[in-house]
Amino acid sequence: MNHDTKHMYELCKNHMHSYVLAQTTDGEQFDGIITGLDDEYVYFAVPLDSPESGEQDYGDMRAFGYPGYGYPGYGFPGYGYPPFGRPRRRFRRLVLPLAALAALSILPWY
């Protein structure tokens, strides 16, 4: 582990479970929560902008690709369908190599 990677590891370790603004070595920026860390990678929970952001949530897809259980029209009405089913996903997981991080700063958690 070189000096820059060691410094970034210590920064991430000190700010574990914090809401941060991260900048990568190629200049991209994103905000998220540091959820994990090891010798090579840092793990983030990055908030989704909106349900229409293009991210498809496969978590509610069941047998044959239908939401809910089984075929449509069977089972208990409303069970497995929003708002009664599992809440929509609000974060996505992002895993980055420590060497790809250039800067990290704490953001206020409102």
Query: For 3-30, what is each residue's pLDDT tens digit?
Result: 889 999 999 999 999 999 999 999 999 9
Nearest to 31 by CA among 92, 99, 88: 92
Is the pLDDT confidence value at 33 over 70? yes
Query: For 41-58, what is each residue's pLDDT tens digit?
Result: 999 999 997 554 444 544
**DSSP state string for 15-35:** TTT-EEEEEETTS-EEEEEEE
Q: Report the alpha-carbon distance of residue 19 to residue 47 in Å, rounded.
A: 10
Q: Which fold has domain 1-48+91-110?
A: SH3 type barrels. (2.30.30)
pTM: 0.66
Instruction: Give domain limits for the chain.
Output: 1-48+91-110, 57-89
